[in-house]
Structure 1
Amino acid sequence: MPTDPSPATPDLSNWRTAPYSRWAFHNVRSILPVADIASAPGSAWPLQASPVSFEDFRLKLPKGGTLDLEGFLKATATDGLLILRDGRIVFEHYEGGNDRDTPHILMSATKSITGLMLGILAERGEIDIDAEVTRYVPEVAGTAYRGATIRQLTDMRAGIVFDAAGLQAYADAAGWEPVASGTTPNLHDFFATMRAQAQPHGGAFSYVSSNTDLLGWAIERATGRSFASLVGTLLWQPLGASGETFITVDRKGAPRCTGGFCTTLRDFARLGQLVLSGGRRGSHAIIPQGWLDDIRQNGDVQAWRDGQWRDSFAAISRNMHYRSGWYVINDEPQLMFAMGIHGQNLFVDAANRIVIAKLSSWAQPVDGQAIWLTHQAVAEFVRVLREQPAG
């Protein structure tokens, strides 16, 4: 494990604030309570190396000038970058005390993993995607979540509108911030008593992180098992993840399914390769192919165009949708990606057989320029690789 010193001792008051965050993002276990997720180091999905030169990598900047690969890595506060082509490592890089064994927080890319778990559980008949969430969590029947379906939650189309006080109550419940001494706010109590404005469910894309934490509660209720144990048994071990993995939990042990997943860069990339491979590792089906096809094909483009992030992503694409925790750009080639604040990304380009996993420590949670640079870099990585024969 890396032994890099932190600039001071990060704690709940500063762990998501630069410069503390760069150390904290790969030392989450020392700051927050977590639940371990079993991996399978004895049967790891092998990742052989076939290095490719990226000397020709160039990003053109909007106001002139270019960035080479090193410049891009620095400009986007990269903690780790791994690129797979045909399941082989063509590039791998670490910074800031990270290495191949370091578990780094994925932030909201966790939502994409929760979405994959829903597909696995639906295929097993353990959860009904079209059921109302109150079927599994009747405690929210008196809240704005009444009438919302599992599908609407995972597609960010539930009609939930929080005011500032509601957002703070949610933040307190999640356990990622300091709270008053002697209090134990937690997610289950928050959901049972939450106050939020209710709008019709099934409308435009509206990004509400609490939706996915509520999905975690519904999953645990539907299966009678912890989310961490389900991920380990049904996804992480079968795909051949080999490193330390865990998820943050609140003060009462509820999982942060919206943003608390922590894993190594290599295992993050293995997940992308599993998605690219149609949910199969060899002959073993892990994620239903139909679920992945649904993510790629059945998102509501109009819901995205009517939604809150249309303009924010306009410089990247206007032809997008969000489905089951994944973003999909419907240009050619189609690109699936998971995204978390502070620069966590997993890109899956099935047409070019490329997976790109990136972990970062942006100073700002949402950095529009860094998002744009990252997407431009994905296209440039693809260009360079297409011009070089596979090893």
Structure 2
Amino acid sequence: MKSIASILLLALPLALGYQAQAVEFKPVDNAFVQQSAAFGVTQDNWDHGAHAAATFPNAYRFTPHMEISLPVDVKPREWPKRPQALLQLTAADLDGEHSLEVLLRDRLKNHSMVVLNKGVLVHQHFWNGYGAEQTHLQMSVTKSFTSLLASIAVAQGKLDMDRAIIHYLPELKGTGFEDATVQELADMRSGIGVKFSEGKLWDDRMTEAQDWNGDSKYPDMRGVMDYAKTLDNHRPIGKVYDYLDVNTELLGKVVEKVQGQPLSELLESQIWSKIGAQQPARWMSNRNAEVVASGGLNMTTRDLAKVGEIIANKGVNQQGERVIPAEFIDALFQGDDKVRFAWQQGKESALATGWYKDQFRVLDIKGHKFIAMVGIHGQILVIEPKSQTVIAMNSGFGDMEPPRMAILIFQQIIPAILDKLALDKV
């Protein structure tokens, strides 16, 4: 006889009104979890850097998730090809020049890279037993997708980014978020205070509420809002760029509130069904189907590149359909005085001139100004609008975000690729 819990899990998609053919709740893959345990990998430690090479292409199997299917009436789109020998280019590490192949494969533990230039596929590789059709955990690249969904709500007239967050989420009155605007959340300028758990870049009370490492160990933390209500302000609001996951989680809650739909459904209808994706996406969640808005998306590297291609094309897909508001992309790339000032107060200003706005970085490095979506352990999507170049990469680097990794990727490898493609006049 099935347990009550298993019956409830099976009934959950229907109860929440999900369209089974488009977005479907999936429970933990217990068979895979048991198989992994034989190798010392558990739900408690699957996300440790030491396991990333094997677990990141399988991350969604360790938690509940929402599976976002492909549209049944749209054929996945292939790119024309013009191969370039990008792996033979060289760039520097601390011990001198090396080929990009050595830097990516051996030193950054890269799993894949897809490079587009003017809508043409100029390079792709898949290493470490990772295939073109496998999804990969995108970590904080997910944040930018949550922001894209917010931008669509703004364009529809449903969301005003300059309003206080408590206008949309009144349950946050009396918390550290009370005086922050939605825009300040999106720019990581909320002034909120978070004490990181030992060895992590987050407070594990939040990830426990998201069932990121198995069922929550905190009885009073069953969702992100439970966690957010415990936080206080500790910086001047709007003045300092302070990168915190909870800001994105609440941005996602605002989007769900104004749209009246879960983020997973919005991603399917507003983005995934329009990019010519080749594989389903998987958005990790807790047992209540509350997705991890700040870091839970799993998708293929090729499909990630397709999103970058739309941004490079000013928000329009290959069928000429508007997917992302042009005004959002323009404002993102132009920045403003507030985000420039806030960037200077944060640690990332040592890496590059730039800013953080609406869950994206805009960086100016070695004559190249580009948009960057970034996740720990080496998840990257770079878009250079001027050259219409897109670089998508997924990795399993053993540390979360060491300076050397950022320097290799952003100051060495990406400029080398952009310089090479700038010489290609085709």
Same fold (TM over 0.5): yes
What secondary structure is seen at the aligned counterpart in 2 of 1:161?
coil
Question: 173, 192, 198: which is aligned to 1:141?
Answer: 173
Q: Counterpart amino acid of 2:124?
A: E
Shift of 1:285: 1.0
Q: Counterpart amino acid of 2:213?
A: E
Question: 1:68-104: CA deviations, max 9, x gaps?
Answer: 1220122111011011111111111111221111110
**What are the ranges of 5 or more consecutive residues in structure 1 without an aligned counterpart?**
none
Aligned twin of 1:377: 413
Q: Distance in 2 between matches of 1:29 and 1:351?
A: 35
Q: Distance in 2 between matches of 1:131 and 1:365?
A: 34
Aligned twin of 2:59: 28
Q: Distance in 1 between matches of 2:249 and 2:55?
A: 22
Q: Distance in 1 between matches of 2:92 and 2:130?
A: 28
Shift of 1:36: 1.8
Shift of 1:184: 7.0
Q: Distance in 1 between matches of 2:87 and 2:278?
A: 31
Aligned twin of 1:334: 369
Q: Distance in 2 between matches of 1:104 and 1:164?
A: 25
Shift of 1:141: 1.1
Q: Do structure 1's residue 8 and structure 2's residue 42 form an aligned pair? A: no
Q: Distance in 2 between matches of 1:184 and 1:254?
A: 16
Question: 1:278-327: CA deviations, max 9, x gaps?
Answer: 0001421111111100000024211100124323x2xxx2x210111110
Q: Do structure 1's residue 273 and structure 2's residue 312 form an aligned pair? A: no
Alignment of 1:278-297 (within 5 A): 278-282=314-318, 283-297=320-334
Q: Distance in 2 between matches of 1:286 and 1:160?
A: 32
Question: 102, 105, 111: which is aligned to 1:71?
Answer: 102
Aligned twin of 2:122: 90
Q: Counterpart amino acid of 2:166?
A: T
Q: Do structure 1's residue 199 and structure 2's residue 239 form an aligned pair? A: no
Aligned twin of 1:102: 134
Aligned twin of 1:301: 340
Aligned twin of 1:159: 191
Would you say the 8 A contact 1:335–1:349 is kept in 2? yes
Shift of 1:343: 0.5
Q: Counterpart amino acid of 2:67?
A: D
Give the 3 Å change call, closer, same or farther, for CA 55–366 of structure 1 in structure 2: closer
**What are the ranges of 5 or more consecutive residues in structure 2 without an aligned counterpart?**
1-31
Aligned twin of 2:13: none
Aligned twin of 2:4: none
Alignment of 1:200-349 (within 5 A): 200-282=236-318, 283-299=320-336, 300-311=339-350, 313=351, 317=352, 319-330=353-364, 332-349=367-384
Aligned twin of 1:358: 393
Would you say the 8 A contact 1:241–1:270 is kept in 2? yes
What secondary structure is seen at the aligned counterpart in 1 of 2:383?
strand
Identity across aligned pairs (percent)? 24
Shift of 1:330: 3.5
Would you say the 8 A contact 2:82–2:120 is kept in 1? yes
What TM-score results when the alignment is normalised by the length of structure 2?
0.84
Q: Counterpart amino acid of 1:292?
A: I
Give the 3 Å change call, closer, same or farther, for CA 181–304 of structure 1 in structure 2: closer
Q: Distance in 2 between matches of 1:262 and 1:98?
A: 13
Q: Distance in 2 between matches of 1:244 and 1:95?
A: 21
Would you say the 8 A contact 2:49–2:400 is kept in 1? no
269-278 vs 238-247, which moves further? 238-247
Would you say the 8 A contact 1:145–1:198 is kept in 2? no
Q: Do structure 1's residue 128 and structure 2's residue 160 form an aligned pair? A: yes
Q: Distance in 1 between matches of 2:87 and 2:258?
A: 51
Would you say the 8 A contact 2:210–2:216 is kept in 1? no
Corresponding residue pairs, total: 381
Give the 3 Å change call, closer, same or farther, for CA 71–188 of structure 1 in structure 2: closer
Q: Distance in 2 between matches of 1:158 and 1:18?
A: 29
Q: Counterpart amino acid of 2:381?
A: L
What secondary structure is seen at the aligned counterpart in 2 of 1:304?
helix
Give the 3 Å change call, closer, same or farther, for CA 320–181 of structure 1 in structure 2: closer
Give the 3 Å change call, closer, same or farther, for CA 60–36 of structure 1 in structure 2: same
What secondary structure is seen at the aligned counterpart in 2 of 1:371?
helix
Q: Counterpart amino acid of 2:268?
A: G
196-205 vs 151-160, which moves further? 196-205
Give the 3 Å change call, closer, same or farther, for CA 158–181 of structure 1 in structure 2: closer
Would you say the 8 A contact 1:110–1:259 is kept in 2? yes
